Structure 1
Amino acid sequence: MALGVALAVVATGAAPATAAPAPTPVKDAATRAVEPDGKVPGGFTSWKDLLATQEKLVKAADRLTAAVRTQGGAGFAGIVAAPENRELRVYWKGAVPERIGDLVGRLRRDVPVSVLPAAYSARELESETNRLGRASGSAVTSIAPNPDGSGLTVSGADYGETRSKVAGSAVPVTVEAGVTPAPAARWNDDAPWLGGAAWRNASTGLGCSTGFAVTAGGASWMLSAAHCGSVGQTATDPTGQVIGPIAYADVRRDVMLIRAGTAGRVYNNDPAATPPEYSNPVAGTSSTYVGMWLCTSGAYSGTICLCQVKMTNVTIYLARDVLYGMALIENSTRKNAAGQGDSGGPVETPEPSGTTRQYAVGVISLIDTSAQVPCTGYVTTGRICSWRLYYAPWSNATTAFPGIAIATG
């Protein structure tokens, strides 16, 4: 598909001259349901029904993923959760091992599982991704394995140059032209700090969003995006109140930990609306699979649902850094999914029984500025928003910081 020119880091510059949303004097513990407006995909009668089906598919996919890791899965290619079709699709190159086949049989007692043939395994596609990344230089901005194991999808700013750099690929390659990733609050939070709130880097003035409260080593931390700052710098809220120091950062996974007193809740209100604000408790974590329906909740854009995962295990090539293990989501309505200032903010999915509790899925990282749309929420002059974005899944956080656990509310 033909896309525009750039992916952008989803941070904002120094504090805008226009007034920020009015501060909320007292933190409101109100909780509300998080559900998108409009028609529910797949003919479901409600979002709760779709989310309940999605949750079953994700749990089955997690069991399969764990089995592949522990029992060996040389032919494993990928998994697609398809809640609209009410099935889990597993792609495999060659014969499926007996133990995996037995597990699939058990899973089919609860959810429909289709095992489909793949041309290439995930290992083969990962190897070719690494080779192409080394060989293509700045011509390639991202490489992702197709979840059905059919090959790779490669993006670059210039179609012809990108096409020429991957012409000798050992696997089929689809080239998307014009895609160049680049990095992308609420506004007066206080301790204990919640996810989805605005924070600023006291050293650089960059504005980002808090992600999820986590615990590790007996201490509490706030998860956000690594491109928002460096270890030793200080995070504050927009009023200058100190949140805490940036203590750990993994640039390759685009995740960081801010040392702070936190609580397991996330803001989900419109940041441009008048008080009262509201937040929702975090119920736990969720893995990421192609086909899942998710919501984003950056401090600038607010909570936006109807976002669907299109790719996983994406490798992003920025000017100075390479990011690994990223996921791509798109707003199915082609309206805003996230924008500058939303970096580090929550990517979540509602727990289906009441949609008032949220599973942590990841944190916002990059927007595709070639897919620009009008911003939502708190709109400042010159701010860029997009219907297409990349996020760092929860697995990036656990890989970067072994031993962390989500803080629930």
Structure 2
Amino acid sequence: MKIPPITARLAVALGVAFAMVAVGAVQATAAPAAVKDAADTAEVPGGFASWKDLVATQEKLVKAADRVTAAVKTRGDTGFAGIVAAPENRELRVYWKGDTPERIDDLVGRLRRDVPVSVLPAAYSARELESEMNRLVRASGGAITSIAPNVDGSGLTVSGADHGLTRSKVAGSAVPVTVEAGVTPAPASRWNGDAPWLGGAAWRNAGTGLGCSTGFAVTLGGVSWMLSAAHCGSVGQTATDPTGQVIGPIAYANTSRDVMLIRANTAGRVYNNDPAATPPEFSNPVVGTSASYVGMWLCTSGAYSGTVCLCQVKAINVTILGPRDTFRGLVRVESPTYKNAAGQGDSGGPVETPEPSGITQQYAVGVISLIDTSAQVPCTGYVVTGRVCSWRLYYAPWSNATSAFPGIAVMTG
């Protein structure tokens, strides 16, 4: 199986690649079976007795974080820097530059009745860091391949193919900048489905032959669609399954947010399974959406790698600068055990977190966008040869979909 030319070029230039593959003689078939727990085979961090206990704690932290985020947006607070939801530490951390307003203090006091909340000092606000991010992007001249604010408000973290050149481009920054060496982003089904189409399945671009993954069934304007990654195709091209059955046309795409909509008959479920046990295969219902916060534990479910859990959010609001396009608002995720988190062919696939009451239902968090080719590991799942996999990935969060397509709603199962 050959890597498509654009992926090869990006791998050399950036080290961050699209998680898509060229179509070869790869074959895999499976059908949905009984509902199972997609995370039941992964080691549980933080000393929790089960994944159910961890995600129950995480959901409480995320709901508390949502209330803080909403309060900040309502009043446009200039001191807010970031939030960390850390279930393994059983704590929500809010970073703030200067004194917190009285209403935020009151809100934190109420939240502490349910979850531990720490308010910690930040050197810079999120607004200040975003402003400096935008300035550096304009001045980078291609030397920067990714840039993101530090969630604690301490500064920015950037990467570039040429470490020395990248350092020189950020030398005059108004905020502290950490330059990471060797981070190289590049663009990253299941295999024989039928309508209604589910998330986490393989699809092919009939025009280019590239293979990607379906994300989540959504509705917009009273019509059903399938959400996937914009770099997998262009408006007017046709999506098919690996057997050639037509899924539908690509109708809308937002390149900067790396999200697209395929017009299709869809259902609110996602394929999930232990990638070491395929088949059998099963699907879980989608029950809602979740925002993304640093510290969250998530699962990916691309068509080529299968379902992979024990992945943790490390940064949000990441900008990736490619040779042709710039991707904004992405989220960086890593496997702390340095195992495959996603690989080529998984582009557009679901990023999810279980609903804690039974953890057989899923919240839509985003869709897989890029993999870091400098963090390569052996591939797992349906296709373990002929492609590149990584323990670090970037995904387009649900907020990218709502920004690109106002009025979009996830379809529940």
- TM-score of the pair, normalised by structure 1: 0.96
Residue 306 of structure 1 and its aligned partner are, at CA, apart by 0.5
Cα contact 1:16–1:380 (8 A) shared by 2: no
| CA displacement 1:242-274 (0-9 Å, x = unmatched) | 000000000000000000000000001256755
1:75 aligns with 2:82: no
What secondary structure sits across from 1:48 in the alignment? helix
| CA displacement 1:279-331 (0-9 Å, x = unmatched) | 00001100000000000000000000000000000011011111110000001
What secondary structure sits across from 1:139 in the alignment? coil
Cα contact 1:271–1:377 (8 A) shared by 2: yes
1:137 maps to amino acid:
G
Q: 307, 312, 324: which one pairs with 2:311?
A: 307
Cα contact 1:36–1:306 (8 A) shared by 2: no
Give the match for residue 258 of structure 2: 254
Give the match for residue 88 of structure 1: 92
Give the Cα separation in 2 of the matches to 1:396 and 1:264.
Answer: 19
Give the Cα separation in 1 of the matches to 2:214 and 2:185.
Answer: 21
| CA displacement 1:95-144 (0-9 Å, x = unmatched) | 11111111111111111110000000000000000000011111100110
Question: Residues 398 and 367 of structure 1: is their aligned pair in 2 closer, same or farther, counting only changes over 3 Å?
Answer: same
Range moving further from structure 2, 27-36 or 154-163:
27-36
- Listed as ranges, the matches of 1:251-330 within 5 Å are 251-270=255-274, 273-330=277-334
Give the match for residue 20 of structure 1: 27
Give the Cα separation in 2 of the matches to 1:39 and 1:378.
Answer: 21
1:7 aligns with 2:13: no
Give the Cα separation in 1 of the matches to 2:408 and 2:14.
Answer: 37
- Listed as ranges, the matches of 1:192-207 within 5 Å are 192-207=196-211
Cα contact 1:36–1:305 (8 A) shared by 2: no
Cα contact 1:212–1:264 (8 A) shared by 2: yes
Cα contact 1:310–1:330 (8 A) shared by 2: yes
Give the match for residue 113 of structure 2: 109
In structure 1, list runs of 5 or more residues that go unmatched. Answer: none
Q: 27, 31, 34: which one pairs with 2:35?
A: 31
Cα contact 2:14–2:185 (8 A) shared by 1: no
Question: Residues 328 and 382 of structure 1: is their aligned pair in 2 closer, same or farther, counting only changes over 3 Å?
Answer: same
In structure 2, list runs of 5 or more residues that go unmatched. Answer: 1-12
- Listed as ranges, the matches of 1:373-388 within 5 Å are 373-379=377-383, 381-388=385-392
Give the match for residue 406 of structure 2: 402
Cα contact 2:32–2:271 (8 A) shared by 1: no
1:64 aligns with 2:68: yes
Give the match for residue 239 of structure 1: 243
Q: 335, 339, 345: which one pairs with 1:331?
A: 335
What secondary structure sits across from 1:396 in the alignment? helix
Give the Cα separation in 1 of the matches to 2:274 and 2:230.
Answer: 25
Give the Cα separation in 2 of the matches to 1:51 and 1:381.
Answer: 33
Give the match for residue 58 of structure 2: 54
What secondary structure sits across from 2:183 in the alignment? coil
- TM-score of the pair, normalised by structure 2: 0.95
Give the Cα separation in 2 of the matches to 1:249 and 1:30.
Answer: 34
What secondary structure sits across from 1:50 in the alignment? helix
Please report the RMSD computed on the Cα atoms of aligned residues, expressed in angstroms.
Answer: 1.3
Range moving further from structure 2, 93-102 or 228-237:
93-102
Range moving further from structure 2, 292-301 or 41-50:
41-50
Residue 36 of structure 1 and its aligned partner are, at CA, apart by 4.6
Give the Cα separation in 2 of the matches to 1:143 and 1:245.
Answer: 33
Cα contact 2:130–2:149 (8 A) shared by 1: yes
Cα contact 2:16–2:184 (8 A) shared by 1: yes
Residue 47 of structure 1 and its aligned partner are, at CA, apart by 1.1
Give the Cα separation in 2 of the matches to 1:337 and 1:300.
Answer: 11
Give the Cα separation in 2 of the matches to 1:225 and 1:147.
Answer: 25
